[in-house]
Amino acid sequence: MSLVYAGVLSHAPGITGRADLCENVAKRDEFYAALENQRKEIEATGAEALIVVAAEHFANFFMNNMPAYCIGIGEKYEGPIEDPDWLKIKKTTVPGAPDLGTRITREVMQTVDAAYAEEWKFDHGIMVPLNFLTPAYDLPIIPVNINCQGPPLTPLPRAWAFGEALRRACDAVPEKIAIVGTGGISHWPATPDSGKINEAWDRDFLDRLMRNDQAALLDYDDAETYRDAGQGGFEIRTFIAVAAAAGGHGDLQFYTAELPIFAVGCTVARFSLTSQD
């Protein structure tokens, strides 16, 4: 099988942009160390490309033509779209994987009607993970988006099916591929409530995620998620898709609700990969 790594991590812009404002420096650095460990784990697999299942924030897709799912097949990508002084990440060019991305897209389409894009601008949703996981920007990236911003949103069972399709597609190619899902759990970003975190809700979700309990993971509805986990909670779709792609149990390597200046419960985890044979 050619999927060699599956994991999840948080992506909030404050993680880089507000690093200097953060007063809980010890916890912050513990989080950064967990991300560095994730980078090393991915590197150790010999992955030739990294799929980033993201929930973008209007860098590419708008309500004029909003895909539920989109896969990037471009040669290169530019990012971040945000002011680099605000995000504390320099504008850069990130290599893509057009041939591999196209083969993966073709296989995904056997079961999920994904859109594809040869142009794609990265916002903090992808740039923050790459800042930690491929700081030299030398690993080809296949960006994947699940619309978590502009309702109506794809139902959770479809996000699971999309993750399964990604896994099948990865296993159909010879290249070694790593996949990460990047989202938030409960959070109310970009509102005056920024920093609000429902830790109990997060821990319950993470318990379901680490057990990779499909029925429990799909047992949320968006109205309840909005009430209990904020609009940021809609991003659980990215975590659920990667859980479906991995198939195995998760190992929660880091979680804290003690960095509210980053506006999200900060999470790092990996999954074991079940054989699809």
Partner 1 sequence: MSLYHLQKFLYELNRDEAAQEKYRADLDALISEFELTTEESEALREGDIGLLYVLGVNGQILMHYAAFLGIEWFDYLDQMRAGIEQYGPVRAGVYAMTGGGESYTAEGKKQ
What is the contact surface with partner 1 in residues (CB under 8 A)?
13-14, 17-18, 21-23, 57-60, 62-64, 81-83, 86-87, 121, 123, 149-151, 188-197, 226, 230-231, 260-261
- 23 versus 138: smaller Cβ distance to partner 1: 23
CB of residue 125 to partner 1, shortest distance in Å: 9
CB of residue 29 to partner 1, shortest distance in Å: 16
- 106 versus 196: smaller Cβ distance to partner 1: 196
Closest of 139, 129, 17, 142 to residue 69, by C-alpha: 142
CB of residue 52 to partner 1, shortest distance in Å: 17
Distance CA 201, CA 192 (A): 20
Q: In this structure, which long-range contacts are made by residues 149-154, counting pairs with CB atoms below 8 Å and at least 24 apart in sequence? A: 149/55, 149/56, 149/57, 149/58, 149/234, 150/61, 150/62, 150/63, 150/66, 151/222, 153/68, 153/222, 153/234, 153/237, 154/68, 154/69, 154/237
CB of residue 81 to partner 1, shortest distance in Å: 5
- 135 versus 150: smaller Cβ distance to partner 1: 150
- 44 versus 86: smaller Cβ distance to partner 1: 86
CB of residue 193 to partner 1, shortest distance in Å: 5
- What single-letter amino acid sits at 37? N
46: left (phi over 0), alpha (psi -120 to 50) or beta: left
- 18 versus 167: smaller Cβ distance to partner 1: 18
